[in-house]
Amino acid sequence: MTFRDPTQAYHYVAYGLCLSSNLPIAALLPSSSIALPDVQIKLGDLPLWHSSESRRTLRYASSYVSETGEPDLRIWDVDNGEFFRVLYSDGVEFWLDRAFGTLWAQWPASSSLENTLSHLVGPILGLLLRLRGIVCLHASAVSINNRAVVFVGSEGMGKSTTAAAFARRGYPVLSDDIVALVERGNEFQMLPGYPRVNLWPDSVKLLYGSPDALPQILPNWDKRCLSLGEDGETRFEEHAQPIGGIYVLGNSAGNSTKSVEVISRKTALMMLIGNTYATNFIDSKQRAEEFQVLSRLVASVPVRKINRGKEVIGVEEFCATIHRNFTSIDSPSNRLEQ
């Protein structure tokens, strides 16, 4: 049995939030700040209300189901929104209070703390950000010339792979999977996430020559982890940066040899709306606010679509194409024209 000091606190920063936890969270960036945390994380604990006969209203159930036929993910309002309860099909559950300042997590004997943390640093933090009013894109991002370059796309389009490829070229990674947006003055900035990129084995093989070149995130999960900065070559950008460009990753259906397409604001807006985080959970008011934020984003930040075409472009050439295009649209003269 592992004993812990209940007064011990571990401090982290992610997506602009100061976090404190009663247990260490290896994936997150440690913080030396003594400021009051925005969110307290209580691992291995649940609020007193969890076992009461409180009124619970099912707010969301995923369309994907487990082997038992239950939804992979369900979310309830508890006591008219005093709490949110998030339950995964593996029995891991999270609770959030109305102020979104305390996050509880518990897991069954059949699961583990490591599995719980994999939920926490991914979808749970994304949900928390969205509930706190921060619009998030399902995307990855790197820093080029001290500006954020964002890669958006549906599952399997290579967002994380592209970010990792840029990391190997010496460019700092800002975030993987979640891009948190914030408006400051007349520009949009993105808040850095945590110093990891998660990759499937085929992406690891593409970048490193072997699918086993990086360690598994969990023993029973094929996905691999690139810990930024630990290899002495890759870097993580810890500071918020203005967004210089957004690239929607896709495959061209035609025979065009163009690899980068300029798209209209309307098309860009529709593409970004289709790639927001927690989109199935937010209510109509939040969705309207999200629409307004994204409308302002596409009006102030260049959005391009980049296609691989029918012939697969090597990852190095793909990154070089993005870099050349971004350098051209991010020139000082172009910035003044925006």
**For residue 242, with 0-12 CB atoms within 10 Å meaning exposed, 13-18 middle and 19 or more buried, which class applies?**
middle
Return d(Cα 165, Cα 206) in angstroms, integer. Answer: 9
Report the pLDDT averaged over residues 72-88.
90
The pLDDT score that the predictor gives to residue 334 is: 55
Q: Is the pLDDT of residue 4 over 70?
A: no
Q: What is the pTM of this model?
A: 0.89
Question: 176 and 126 in contact (C-beta within 8 Å)?
Answer: no
Q: Which domains, from first to last, does the chain contain? A: 10-131 (no CATH), 136-337 (3.40.50.300)
For residue 337, what pLDDT is reported?
47
Q: For residue 160, what pLDDT band results from cuts at 50, 70 and 90?
A: very high
- Mean pLDDT over residues 290-295, rounded? 95
Q: Which pLDDT score is estimated for 338?
A: 46
Average pLDDT of the segment spanning 10-27: 95
Which of the 8 DSSP states describes residue 37?
P
pLDDT for the residue numbered 264: 94
Least confident of 19-33, 39-53, 64-78: 39-53
When pLDDT is cut at 50, 70 and 90, the band that residue 152 belongs to is very high
Q: Determine the 3-state secondary structure of 260 from DSSP.
A: strand
Token pair for 309 = 């075409």
Summarize pLDDT for 181-240 with one digit per residue, the tens. Answer: 999 988 999 999 999 999 999 999 999 999 999 999 988 889 999 999 877 789 999 999
User: Which residue, 270, 56, 274, 267, is CA-closest to 153?
Assistant: 274
Evaluate if residue 257 carries a pLDDT over 50.
Answer: no
Q: What is the chain's mean pLDDT, rounded?
A: 88
Cα-based angle 52, 53, 57 (whole degrees, multiple of 5): 115
Q: Per the structure block, which two tokens stand in for 54?
A: 């409180």
Give the pLDDT confidence score for residue 336 in this predicted structure.
41
From the list 164, 296, 183, the residue with the least C-alpha distance to 240 is 183
- Three-state secondary-structure class, residue 237: coil
254 pLDDT higher than 60: no
In whole angstroms, what is the distance from residue 155 CA to residue 250 CA?
10
Q: Do residues 240 and 297 lie in contact, with contact meaning Cβ atoms separated by under 8 Å?
A: no
Lowest-pLDDT choice from 23-37, 177-191, 233-247 = 23-37
Nearest 5°: the CA angle 225, 204, 28 is 15
Long-range pairs, 288-294, Cβ under 8 A, ≥24? 289/133, 289/135, 290/135, 293/135, 293/181, 293/183, 294/135, 294/269
pLDDT computed for residue 43 by the predictor:
97
Does position 111 have pLDDT exceeding 80, yes or no?
yes
Say which amino acid occupies 312: V
Q: How confident is the model at residue 57 (pLDDT cuts 50, 70, 90)?
A: confident
Q: How far apart are CA 190 and CA 192, in angstroms?
A: 6
Query: Which alpha helices (DSSP H) does 169-314 contain, by range?
Result: 201-208, 265-273, 284-300
Please state, in angstroms and rounded to a whole number, the distance separating the CA atoms of residues 114 and 256: 46
Pair of tokens at residue 129: 């950000």
* Residue 293 dihedral angles phi and psi, to the nearest 5°: -60, -45
| pLDDT for residue 134 | 94
Question: H-helix or E-strand containing 163?
Answer: helix 159-168
**Token pair 């050349």 in the structure block, residue:** 324
What is the DSSP track for 47-75? -GGGGS---EEEEEE-S-B-TTS-BSEEE
In this structure, what DSSP letter does residue 120 have?
Answer: I
- Residue 1 pLDDT more than 50? no
Q: At what angle do helices 159-168 and 201-208 cross, to 10 degrees?
A: 30
